[in-house]
Amino acid sequence: MKKEKLLLIGIVVAVLLALVAVGTVLGQEPEKTGDEPPQPNPTPEVPVDEREEKAEVLPAALVGAQFTYQGRLTSSGGSPLSGQYDFQVQLWNGPNPSTATQVGATISVNGVAVSDGLFNLTLPVTTSSFNGRALYLRMRVRPTGGPTWDTWTNTQPILAVPLAFSVRPGATIGGMDAGNGNLYLRDSAHRQTIWLDGGAAWPVIGTSGNDGDLTINAGNGATAFWFDGDTAQLRLGTSSGNAGDLIIRDNAGNNTIWLDGNSQTILGGLHSTNGILTLKSNYDVKVYLDSEYVGDHITWFRVFRNTSATTTQELFRVEQSGLCRARGAFSGSSLDYADMLPVAGSASELEPGDVLVISKKKDFAVELSPKSFDTSVIGIYSTQPAFLGGAGLGTQVVNGVPVAMGGVVPCKVSAENGPIQRGDLLTTSSTPGYAMRAGENPPPGTVLGKAMGELAEGTGTIEVLVTLQ
């Protein structure tokens, strides 16, 4: 039988990869274009629901892992052959099979049509074979169905295009010993919009004119996680029924801090542990929001200050019962103490500064003073009390007014019993709601307080120190 001779012309057809991406993918260092790591430019914030939705382009099918090899088959005399032939192809990691290792299994391609010596092989391979290393190919041939194979040809190097199998989906993109491995995605304007930097170990998203966003979508396609590079915001949750929560767990896997986007609450101290929120100022003042036993009381809010490098001093505490304890004094902008008391008539008919008496018509109520030297006098309608009793949580006085029973408040006064001098004792007057000078030896129980201002004639308003006598 005439012996065939196989002449290798070279690889001419490109690799087909299952790689679908937006932009250009480079598996080595890019050209130096002067691009710097992109910095986002300020642009108006766009709500999640108003962001433009772009149609997703999907391939009809993924191409297989294979490449095409062309060559020329001649007889031992150099004449081109025609007909049906079987081929066997091997890949090696070195040029000399006696010292190299075969990569993958031997590939058989049968019934190949050869015309005037020219043939075209489609070789199925495993993508793991193409990992960036140098590979060499050799083959042998026989007439289709023939009993004897020709000898193996000399190995030929596989050129660069099939090595692109190393960047198909699932592959590792890395640098060589002399450089870092980077992955770039570019937009239609050839700007780097996504940059995975193997040397700096960071991803960069965004470019000049386009801020970088990182979004993760829920199963229904709604954006559930949005890191907005333009507004520097991290948003959790969707507008389609999924609340955004941020959960922090301890080393046992228990939820210890929970920011609940649906209920708009911050939960701490779950799973039988105390939840504590601590705030610390530059001056070492610490504020604790917790639920911890201090003595026999459960505290909910505490304020401390550092007295030394190792000790603290409690300044203020709110206990579970609502009791407040302080190391110092409570200070307000006003000068009086008042109680919130119901009004026998309509509270809207009274004004700050009115002199009030205990009501003759209704229990636990006050009314406008109706006469002079009234022993039922109780105080003055306070303008803005420094401390107000009877108005705490859980106690709501309906139709009430703050009645000053101590301290200094503005008071309506009349000069009907003579000009009022500073230090004069005051009592109720015949003018409803007004005080007047009490004079010498007023009846017991009629003194409202002492004048801290003067009124020569008529009526007016002066500051009065409330001292019921």
Residue 72 belongs to domain with CATH number: 2.60.40
Question: Is the same domain home to 8 and 131?
Answer: yes
- Would residue 198 count as lying in a domain? no
Q: DSSP code of 230?
A: T
| Cα–chain center distance at 155 | 59
402: phi then psi, degrees, rounded to nearest 5: -80, 125
Question: Is the same domain home to 279 and 348?
Answer: no
The pLDDT of residue 154 is 92
The pLDDT of residue 37 is 38
The pLDDT of residue 19 is 32
Question: Is the same domain home to 87 and 137?
Answer: yes
Q: Could you give the CA distance from residue 386 to residue 100 in angstroms, rounded to a whole number?
A: 95
402, 339 Cβ separation under 8 angstroms = yes
Among 56, 65, 35, 41, which Cα is nearest to 184's? 35
| Cα–chain center distance at 361 | 61
Q: DSSP code of 454?
A: -
Question: Is the same domain home to 226 and 314?
Answer: no
Give SS3 for 294.
strand
pLDDT in tens, 310-327: 888 888 888 777 778 888
Strands (E), 269-323: 277-280, 285-294, 297-306, 312-319
Q: How many CA atoms lie within 13 A of 92 on its CB side?
A: 20
Question: Is the same domain home to 303 and 358?
Answer: no
Tell me the CA distances in angstroms from 387 to 21, 356, 358, 405, one per residue in order. Answer: 69, 19, 21, 11
- Would residue 99 count as lying in a domain? yes
- Would residue 446 count as lying in a domain? yes
Residue for token digits 């201090």? 294
- Would residue 295 count as lying in a domain? yes
Question: Is the same domain home to 229 and 313?
Answer: no
| pTM exceeds 0.95 | no
Query: Which residues constitute the domain of residue 147?
Result: 4-12+63-167
Please identify, among 328, 345, 365, the residue that sits at the C-terminal boundary of a domain: 328
- Would residue 100 count as lying in a domain? yes
The pLDDT of residue 410 is 97
Residues of the chain with pLDDT under 50: 1-2, 8-57, 169-170
pLDDT in tens, 12-25: 333 333 333 333 33
Question: Is the same domain home to 285 and 369?
Answer: no
Q: Which residues contact 267 (CB under 8 A, 6 or more apart)?
A: 257, 258, 259, 260, 275
Q: How many CA atoms lie within 13 A of 174 on its CB side?
A: 8
Residue 436 belongs to domain with CATH number: 2.40.300.10
Question: Is the same domain home to 8 and 133?
Answer: yes
Question: Is the same domain home to 153 and 75?
Answer: yes
Question: Is the same domain home to 8 and 135?
Answer: yes
The pLDDT of residue 44 is 40
Q: DSSP code of 311?
A: -
Please identify, among 108, 138, 167, the residue that sits at the C-terminal boundary of a domain: 167
* Secondary structure (DSSP) of 328-340: S----SSEEEEEE
346, 368 Cβ separation under 8 angstroms = no
Question: Is the same domain home to 285 and 341?
Answer: no
- Would residue 252 count as lying in a domain? no
The pLDDT of residue 288 is 66
- Would residue 161 count as lying in a domain? yes
Total of domains in the chain: 4
- What's the N-to-C CA distance of the chain in angstroms? 141
| Cα–chain center distance at 132 | 41
- Would residue 267 count as lying in a domain? no
Adjacency order of strands within the sheet including 312-319:
277-280, 285-294, 297-306, 312-319, 324-326
Question: Is the same domain home to 302 and 385?
Answer: no
Please identify, among 328, 353, 369, the residue that sits at the C-terminal boundary of a domain: 328
